[in-house]
Structure 1
Amino acid sequence: MNINILQYESDIWKTADFLRGAGIKESDFPKYMMPYFALLMVESRLIREAKRLEEEIGRDNIEDFVEMFQLEGLGYNDYVIRKNKSLKDICKNDKTFDVDFQSYLESFDPETKYLLGVNKGTEEEKFLDISGISGLLKKKRILFETVKVWSEIDLTPFDNSEITTLEEHIKRKWADISAETAGEQYTPDDIISLITELIVTKFEDNGKFLTIYDPTCGGGNLLFGVEDKIKSDLPSRPTATYGQEWNDTLFALAKIESRFRKDTYIEYGNTITEIGKFYDKFFNIAVANPPYGVDWKGYEKDVKNDSTERFIALPSISDGQFLFTQHILYKLNEDGFAVVVHNGSTLFSGDAGSGESNIRKHFFDNDWVEAIIQMPTDEFFNTGIYTYLWVFNKNKPADRKDKVILINASDLYEPLKKSKGKKRKQMNPDNRKEIVKAFTDFKDNAFSKVFDKWHFYYNKQSIMLTNVDENGKYIEMPTKVNRAGETVEEKSIKLVPTKIEVTSDNNTTTYTDFEITSFDKSKHKSLQDYFNDDIKPTINAIDYKEQDVKVFTKKATYWYDQDKETIIEEIKGEQTELGCGKIVIKSAFKKATKTKDASIVITVELTKDLQKDYEIIPYSPDEAINQQTIDDFMAKYITRPFEYVDNVIGVEVNFNKVFYVPEKLRTVTDIQAEIEFLENELANLENELGL
């Protein structure tokens, strides 16, 4: 790369001086600058290609020259190609500038005018809006001065890759000041290099065609950057790139550049809702840095009605990055390889059975995950968080089947001498070389560890615990013989109450009527209303643990002893501890029948005090071993009676647990020595002060 390309970064930002002076707020700078930067990109490429063609065929016959140029399919501008004039030439005369600039814009080919937004009305679809922005700058009386500064920036000496690099530096600054870039993380060049270096380890330089796909391509820096580096490392392999973007202005920039690159196809649209773009294409390579932390609520209906079966599960509505990843895996061919940038939430967010966990499980079940690499913090332009490279391979070599390598590259960086937004670190070639070597060696070292994929699975085993009293006893239910001749346990002990006393705050309420058939018609329209408005809320409010509740039957009295956590049964003054349990008081409305009037019935039952809980237990793909692992865990850690309920298999990746290094504790001797030293120091100080 010609290092001088970045000298124009400061020149481009000089154009903002006019915007600032005209009272345009900083957050609007991108809107006012993007169209002219795109214009500069187009013109520089047209001029460069025209010079190349001129060297090949000359300009003696201008009509032949123009025809040949148009056949190249790069776009066209009559001022630039036929008249050999540039934006800089137009800016030499301020008196004719307005007319010349308008003619210059109208001299572009229809597609370029469409992308730039030349002469688009206020209601028309447009990606950039150069005519509208120019009109606003003219109203501010700074149009000529602004365009003149832009025209003095000469990008013609630089190739596509170099201009892409400059473009991303400018877009990064726009992202820093714009409030409309939530979730957009521009991929820096050092990460693009790392991604490419990982990719080329999987492909031979054998002359076969490679297709590269980015479903969230933005302005194209990751997609085009990877392609350029692959061409450098694998010069015998022809490539074609395919990208899709939903952001209007970024699509326009990528689309404009695509015409100056061979076999490059950029489509406009939302990848998640518009599967029609490249619907029949499946790719060798996919790269992406999809937006994260951005919700997909606006597309929920489309996603849930998607008929492609690419979404095996749905992540949280607040973060759609796993939707893009599922799409990427769907679009990879059977030998495909992908590297996708994510934040940390995709590693562990969501419980077993959740959308995120099921998506991870789907990836691991299919054995597509080959590596996950933790990047340093402060590596990206507008976020300081940890980021991760998910490395997917649909055709892992035999020795890597059902295995995954975790690479902790968080300490492999060098600090930047000058921060670029929030980017304060970068990976130099040596750092990247270490990571790629760890990936290719595929064995444990100081910062990488290889695991069977099953290591990341776990059982979430739900159980129904029976609570017990201080003596470990719980209320026992009577048994009965069912129709199959089996002895089964009843769910409750049904009491026939004669009286219920509920004491709370020294006030006692007594209930004696347990089948109510009458009501106060002046207060309630019907017995049903009486039940809904009065009886049901009152009964539901009774709490046998918080209140003193006594249930009287003809033979016995029952209550709950809070201190002993047991139900007491008293018969003729003799008390028996039945064990931990619940006193359940219910009310029900019974509709009238042919033989009975409508009534309200209050019942009492004694039941076990059950509590649903779950345990997280290591997983084995062998069903018998897995069940034995669960049983052994329960025998070791669960002391109360329980029954198995359901078991859900989850998947998560925890870098902190894998690479955690405990802090080395000081010895007692060292601590005592320091205490003695401090005591001596304090004594000396007291002596000096005469205390």
Structure 2
Amino acid sequence: MSNTLESTTSKLWAMANELRGNMDASEYKNYILAFMFYRYLSGHQMDYLKNNNVLDINPGQTINEAYAEQAAGDDLNDYLEDISAYLGYAIAPQDTWRSLIQRIDDNLIIPSDYQTIFDNFNKNASLNKEAAKDFRGVFNDVNLGDSRLGSNTNDRAKSLNRIVKLIDGIEYKDEQGKDILGEIYEYLIGMFAANAGKKGGEFYTPHEVSQILARVVTSDVSSAGDAFNVYDPACGSGSLLLTVQNELPGGNKPGAVKFYGQELNTTTYNLARMNLMMHGVSFNNMTLSNADTLETDWPDGPDPTTGVDHPRTFDAVVANPPYSAHWDNNENKLKDPRFNPFGALAPASKADYAFVLHSLYHLNANGTMAIVLPHGVLFRGAAEAKIRKALIKSDAAQSQGNYLDAVIGLPANLFYGTGIPTCILVFKKNRDAKDVLFIDASKEFVKGKNQNKLSEENIDKIIDTYRSRKDVDKYAHVAPLQEIVDNDFNLNIPRYVDTFEEEPPIDLNEVNRQLKQDDQEIAELEAKIKEQLRVLGVEV
């Protein structure tokens, strides 16, 4: 983290904490992050107007002043149409960030202004039909009427003014002039997650865990080449998708990665849209959906007329879904092509394998999938055991080898809101080998005050071991299929990786010597005590 980024984020977090008062961190984030995003969109639009010579800017005139002067009257709609066609959204002159700041400084803000700004944004988001789904409603979770902002409309407007001014004071360029607003945004998401308790895990995967997943699914990729497609069926704030981009060779080139994700929680879905765009992802390169992944399939699903399913598949699938969630496992879902080949449905109270099968269904023939799950998926019986056996024997894959590539055990207490140990399951469809690599990384971590962390060395060891695919004493084992069959398809890691540390042998002669020495020291001490008592005149 650069000095500018570190000082900016520390200052911003401290001030945000002070401003939020009694509001829960998971809710207050909706205000801070939404206004940061609005500032970003407005600044991005100003850059477009300047860099593409859309405006005639006179000497001494700001871009905002030129925009307000020229995009006026009958010409306004032409400007908005042009901006929207290029950026996917458009902000009118009176609603830009600089115009908002000017009105606050001049005490011209009225309580309804914030709602008007967001309403205008939603209206203009419809100008570009292709991009409308990416921008419309993105600010709907900013509850402008929350009484915790203030007891009346004027007090609430003042609170919003303070948030806007706080964000306006952010230094968003580092020492080299690089834009770091996206990195600040990512940092704040992590901080809000850490302070939101159990709710934090619903929208954020710790970065070091994201790095492992991302490095695993990009291990076989030498360069981005054609657009690399990555999918997260429970995408939260989108951080995991962005980490895949960072780990992909050439992934940061514009258009090198196409992002796909689905998120059930609307607030979190909005967060993901903001997060990706704040990191420079164009609306053309992201397809996000707000719906239930385990219900009607996405992103394509069966044709409504013919009923035939033509699923979209991806180069990589990454996921950290809600652990052992409840889902509707109605037996009709056995007809669903995602679940049908495996002959069983995940239990109603444990949707873990439903997420596995959904994700696998959308993995292409040469891709890699990595998913974080609780350890129960490795050994629980009944329907889960049947699915596990089918995945390993690949009954559904006919002549192909085992789908399961690796099982990586992680330390406990890595995630927000739960202290349980987790594991990463890695799947591939094009495997000729039938063995499974087991890695037990559960004991290698940096202990934190409230949460354990993985160091860079911990992460490198996991990835190096995954890539080399060799036995490592007390850490990793490549298990042939027969060994897994002999264990009745139970994948519990201790069955394959022996981490038992023998205690050093006891030297009985040394123990006897120490006992004799102790007895001698005790006798000498007792003699000294008796002598002292005699000096004091006490009979002993």
TM value normalised by structure 2: 0.77
Cα deviation per residue 1:56-95 (whole Å; 9 max; x = unaligned)?
32422645654332112432221477x6635433322335
Q: Tell me the CA shift for residue 190 of structure 1.
A: 2.2
SS in 2 for 1:187: coil
2:469 equivalent in structure 1: 442
The separation in 2 between residues aligned to 1:57 and 1:231, in whole angstroms, is: 34
Q: Tell me the CA shift for residue 675 of structure 1.
A: 3.2
2:132 equivalent in structure 1: none
2:459 equivalent in structure 1: 432
Cα deviation per residue 1:291-316 (whole Å; 9 max; x = unaligned)?
114333xx243875662342633344
1:408 equivalent in structure 2: 440
Q: Does 1:39 align with 2:66?
A: no
2:370 equivalent in structure 1: 339
The separation in 2 between residues aligned to 1:159 and 1:454, in whole angstroms, is: 52
The code of the aligned residue for 2:513 comes to A
Q: Tell me the CA shift for residue 288 of structure 1.
A: 0.6
The separation in 1 between residues aligned to 2:346 and 2:223, in whole angstroms, is: 38
SS in 2 for 1:213: strand
Q: Does 1:456 align with 2:484?
A: yes
Q: Is the 8 A contact 2:404 2:427 kept in 1?
A: yes
SS in 2 for 1:142: helix
Cα deviation per residue 1:467-513 (whole Å; 9 max; x = unaligned)?
xxxxxxxxxxxxxxxxxxxxxxxxxxxxxxxxxxxxxxxxxxxxxxx
- Root-mean-square deviation (CA), in Å? 3.2
Structure 2 counterpart of 1:252, from 263, 270, 294:
270
The separation in 1 between residues aligned to 2:447 and 2:227, in whole angstroms, is: 38
Q: Is the 8 A contact 2:224 2:256 kept in 1?
A: no
1:240 equivalent in structure 2: 258
The separation in 1 between residues aligned to 2:526 and 2:495, in whole angstroms, is: 47
The code of the aligned residue for 2:205 comes to T
Q: Is the 8 A contact 2:25 2:192 kept in 1?
A: no
Structure 1 counterpart of 2:339, from 310, 324, 327:
310
Q: Is the 8 A contact 2:229 2:258 kept in 1?
A: yes
Residues 324 and 657 (structure 1), Cα distance of their counterparts in 2 relative to 1, 3 Å cut = same
The separation in 2 between residues aligned to 1:290 and 1:66, in whole angstroms, is: 39
Structure 1 counterpart of 2:89, from 72, 75, 85:
75
The separation in 2 between residues aligned to 1:86 and 1:670, in whole angstroms, is: 83
| Larger displacement relative to structure 2 (165-174 or 366-375) | 165-174
For the pair shown, which has the larger CA radius of gyration, 1 or 2? 1
The code of the aligned residue for 1:403 comes to D
Structure 2 counterpart of 1:130, from 143, 157, 166:
143
The code of the aligned residue for 1:274 comes to T
Q: Tell me the CA shift for residue 47 of structure 1.
A: 1.1
Residues 185 and 452 (structure 1), Cα distance of their counterparts in 2 relative to 1, 3 Å cut = farther
1:301 equivalent in structure 2: 330
SS in 1 for 2:150: helix
The separation in 2 between residues aligned to 1:92 and 1:368, in whole angstroms, is: 61
Residues 653 and 230 (structure 1), Cα distance of their counterparts in 2 relative to 1, 3 Å cut = same
Q: Tell me the CA shift for residue 363 of structure 1.
A: 2.1
Residues 241 and 415 (structure 1), Cα distance of their counterparts in 2 relative to 1, 3 Å cut = same
Cα deviation per residue 1:345-403 (whole Å; 9 max; x = unaligned)?
2222x23xx1222222222112112122222334334433322221212123x5xx011
The separation in 2 between residues aligned to 1:302 and 1:166, in whole angstroms, is: 43
Q: Is the 8 A contact 1:357 1:652 kept in 2?
A: no
The separation in 2 between residues aligned to 1:674 and 1:283, in whole angstroms, is: 67
Cα deviation per residue 1:256-291 (whole Å; 9 max; x = unaligned)?
345552310100111111314333311110001111
Structure 2: state its 5+ residue gaps. 57-69, 126-134, 174-178, 302-310, 395-401, 531-539
Q: Does 1:261 align with 2:264?
A: no
Q: Tell me the CA shift for residue 232 of structure 1.
A: 4.4
The separation in 1 between residues aligned to 2:255 and 2:107, in whole angstroms, is: 50
The code of the aligned residue for 2:439 comes to I
Residues 196 and 114 (structure 1), Cα distance of their counterparts in 2 relative to 1, 3 Å cut = closer
Q: Tell me the CA shift for residue 344 of structure 1.
A: 1.8
Residues 44 and 378 (structure 1), Cα distance of their counterparts in 2 relative to 1, 3 Å cut = same
Q: Is the 8 A contact 2:5 2:184 kept in 1?
A: yes
Q: Is the 8 A contact 2:370 2:427 kept in 1?
A: yes
SS in 1 for 2:221: coil
Q: Is the 8 A contact 1:292 1:321 kept in 2?
A: yes
Q: Is the 8 A contact 1:285 1:336 kept in 2?
A: yes
Q: Tell me the CA shift for residue 52 of structure 1.
A: 4.0
Structure 1 counterpart of 2:391, from 363, 381, 391:
363
Q: Tell me the CA shift for residue 41 of structure 1.
A: 1.4
SS in 2 for 1:116: coil
Cα deviation per residue 1:25-45 (whole Å; 9 max; x = unaligned)?
x5x443344144223213313
Q: Please state which structure has a larger fraction of its residues in helix.
A: 2
The separation in 1 between residues aligned to 2:483 and 2:163, in whole angstroms, is: 56
Q: Is the 8 A contact 2:45 2:87 kept in 1?
A: no
The separation in 2 between residues aligned to 1:663 and 1:142, in whole angstroms, is: 66
Residues 672 and 380 (structure 1), Cα distance of their counterparts in 2 relative to 1, 3 Å cut = same
SS in 2 for 1:285: strand
Residues 197 and 306 (structure 1), Cα distance of their counterparts in 2 relative to 1, 3 Å cut = same
TM value normalised by structure 1: 0.61
The separation in 2 between residues aligned to 1:148 and 1:288, in whole angstroms, is: 38
The code of the aligned residue for 1:672 comes to N
SS in 2 for 1:108: helix
Q: Is the 8 A contact 1:200 1:234 kept in 2?
A: no
Q: Tell me the CA shift for residue 53 of structure 1.
A: 4.2
Q: Does 1:651 align with 2:494?
A: no
The separation in 2 between residues aligned to 1:456 and 1:115, in whole angstroms, is: 48
Residues 231 and 146 (structure 1), Cα distance of their counterparts in 2 relative to 1, 3 Å cut = farther
1:166 equivalent in structure 2: 187
Q: Is the 8 A contact 1:358 1:650 kept in 2?
A: no
Cα deviation per residue 1:172-200 (whole Å; 9 max; x = unaligned)?
13532xx656x637312222223222222
SS in 1 for 2:111: helix
Q: Please state which structure has a larger fraction of its residues in strand.
A: 1
SS in 2 for 1:651: coil
2:307 equivalent in structure 1: none
Residues 277 and 306 (structure 1), Cα distance of their counterparts in 2 relative to 1, 3 Å cut = farther
Q: Is the 8 A contact 1:273 1:303 kept in 2?
A: no
The separation in 2 between residues aligned to 1:233 and 1:256, in whole angstroms, is: 19
The code of the aligned residue for 1:394 comes to K
1:204 equivalent in structure 2: 222
The alignment of Structure 1 onto Structure 2 pairs a total of residues equal to 470
